Amino acid sequence: MNANEILRDKIIEDIRKLKTEIRTKKIKRLQIDRLENMVNKLYQHSDNCHICSNFLITFENNLLNNLELTDKSHLKNYMTNFRKIVSHLCKKHKLVTKGSSQGTFTLLGMSFGMSIGASIGMIFDIDNQGSWFVLGMSFGTLFGMSFGMLLGTILDSNAKKKGNVI
């Protein structure tokens, strides 16, 4: 057992202990359910990445201690460090957050669907009253959003199968 593995086990034990002590509303707001997965991902990459090793130490020293205190500055420090870790894991190790692809592709699908629907509506709007234009935009947005959600969900499930979700 190396030092990072011992540190990971200690942190996970502390996280589980915190989950029993903190209210459910606060667990959800502070995203404590994600901490265990983040620690495991940091441990996986700690051999090759010194920043991940440093984040594991930060986890032990700062992050969990800031959760025990109710002062707003400590909670702000916790959320800042939390975002830094998620950002590092996403950028350097090509991991994704839960639902990120679905949100992105839903937005893209809506915008493409609206523009294609507007184009089709303009083509069929012979009487220049705009009824086909509005109808084309409505259906284009609907189909684009549905297609984007479907594509995003598929990409999110593939990332989950590969273990690339934080």
Q: Is the pLDDT of residue 55 over 80?
A: yes
Instruction: Give residue 105's pLDDT band: very low, low, confident or very high (50, 70, 90).
Output: very high
Q: Which of 112, 140, 38 is nearest to 81 (CA)?
A: 38
Instruction: Give residue 1's pLDDT band: very low, low, confident or very high (50, 70, 90).
Output: low
Would you state the structure tokens that stand for residue 86, as one six-digit string? Answer: 């998620």
- Say which residue the tokens 């509005």 belong to: 134
Helix (H), strand (E) at residue 116: helix 100-124
Q: Which of 61, 93, 125 is the last residue of a domain?
A: 93
Instruction: Give residue 68's pLDDT band: very low, low, confident or very high (50, 70, 90).
Output: low
- Compute the average pLDDT of residues 74-101: 88
Same domain, 65 and 127: no
Q: Which of 93, 125, 148 is the last residue of a domain?
A: 93
What is the amino acid identity at position 53? Answer: S
Q: Residue 109 CB: number of other CB atoms within 10 A?
A: 23
Same domain, 76 and 7: yes
Same domain, 80 and 40: yes
Q: Residue 6 CB: number of other CB atoms within 10 A?
A: 10
Same domain, 9 and 89: yes
Q: Which of 93, 112, 130 is the last residue of a domain?
A: 93
Same domain, 106 and 61: no
By the 8 A CB rule, do 84 and 63 touch? no
Overall domain count for the chain: 2
Q: What is the DSSP letter of 48?
A: T
pLDDT confidence of residue 118: 85
pLDDT confidence of residue 106: 93
pLDDT confidence of residue 157: 93
Domain enclosing residue 145, as ranges: 100-162
Same domain, 67 and 123: no
- Say which residue the tokens 């549905």 belong to: 146
Same domain, 84 and 110: no
What is the share, in percent, of the chain residues with pLDDT greater than 70?
Answer: 93
Same domain, 15 and 50: yes
CA 108-111-117 angle, 5° bins: 130
Same domain, 14 and 55: yes
Same domain, 121 and 77: no
pLDDT confidence of residue 66: 64
Helix (H), strand (E) at residue 159: helix 131-162
| Residues 103, 109, 112, 114, CA torsion sign | negative
Same domain, 33 and 10: yes
Same domain, 105 and 156: yes
Per-residue pLDDT tens for 126-161?
Answer: 777 767 788 888 889 999 999 999 999 999 999 999
The residue among 121 and 83 whose pLDDT is bigger is 83
pLDDT confidence of residue 143: 92
